[in-house]
């Protein structure tokens, strides 16, 4: 007999993990992640089985293994929900990371394949966000103030009707571009 198909992805598991840097209840996680409480319970069980968290009646805490992994992931990427004038009705996520691959339209297509309305991938040159055709994105000056930009970083902007889909899309692109992040995801999630 076949069980129910899961209604979450490994990127939802990662998103949950990234939200566990402080004590948080399952109800709060459910709200933040835009997932049902039962799904969040299943994801937390996965994180427990991998030795990344422990749970008690006061919330969910990272283990030493979880603390080290979270620090590694956060040294590779920074992710925030942002408001873009370009797409005012959509939920937009900005993710800053290093890249080991050349920026291509295929990465943007990954975001769309996984449900996002679209994505824009820019690179940092001279502390400015540059699109692949080398033009400066003037609308994104606020992002330059919001993030600590370093030469060669890549900014991934994913947008969708939900924060969940936008965040998953940004993480999918980042894992495709960054070998170290991809290895950590495949090893731990």
Contact (CB, 8 A) for 111 and 158: yes
**Structural domains in the chain plus CATH codes:** 10-71 (1.10.10.10), 76-188 (3.30.1360.30)
Distance, in Å, from the CA atom of 93 to the CA atom of 33, rounded to the nearest integer, reads 13
Contact (CB, 8 A) for 42 and 53: no
Q: Please tell me the predicted confidence (pLDDT) of residue 180.
A: 92
Structure tokens at 51: 């030795």
Long-range contacts of 38-46 (CB under 8 A, 24+ apart): 39/6, 39/7, 39/8, 39/12, 40/16, 42/6, 42/8, 43/8, 43/12, 43/13, 43/16, 44/16, 46/13, 46/189
Q: Please tell me the predicted confidence (pLDDT) of residue 101.
A: 78
Distance, in Å, from the CA atom of 89 to the CA atom of 75, rounded to the nearest integer, reads 31
Residues of the chain with pLDDT under 70: 1-5, 131-139
The tens digit of pLDDT for each residue in 119-147 reads: 989 888 888 887 666 555 656 777 888 89
**Backbone phi, psi, residue 144, to 5°:** -65, -30
Q: Please tell me the predicted confidence (pLDDT) of residue 56.
A: 81
Q: Please tell me the predicted confidence (pLDDT) of residue 135.
A: 56
Q: Please tell me the predicted confidence (pLDDT) of residue 4.
A: 61
β partners of residue 92: 82, 159
């Amino acid at each position: 007999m076949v069980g129910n198909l899961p209604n979450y992805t490994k990127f939802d598991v990662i998103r949950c993990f990234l939200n566990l840097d402080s004590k948080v209840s399952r109800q709060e996680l459910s709200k933040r992640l835009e997932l049902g409480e039962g799904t969040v319970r299943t994801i937390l069980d996965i994180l427990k089985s991998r030795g990344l968290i422990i749970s008690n009646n006061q919330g969910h805490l990272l283990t030493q293994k979880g603390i080290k992994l979270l620090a590694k992931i956060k040294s590779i990427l920074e992710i925030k929900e942002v408001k873009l004038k370009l797409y005012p009705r959509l939920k937009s996520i900005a993710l800053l990371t290093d890249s080991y691959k050349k920026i291509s339209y295929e990465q943007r297509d990954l975001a769309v394949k996984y449900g996002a309305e679209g994505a824009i991938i820019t690179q940092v040159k001279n502390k400015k966000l540059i699109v692949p055709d080398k033009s400066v994105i003037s609308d994104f000056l606020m992002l330059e103030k919001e993030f600590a930009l370093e030469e060669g970083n890549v900014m991934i902007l994913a947008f969708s009707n939900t924060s969940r889909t936008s965040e998953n899309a940004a993480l999918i692109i980042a894992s495709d571009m960054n070998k170290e992040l991809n290895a950590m995801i495949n090893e731990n999630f």
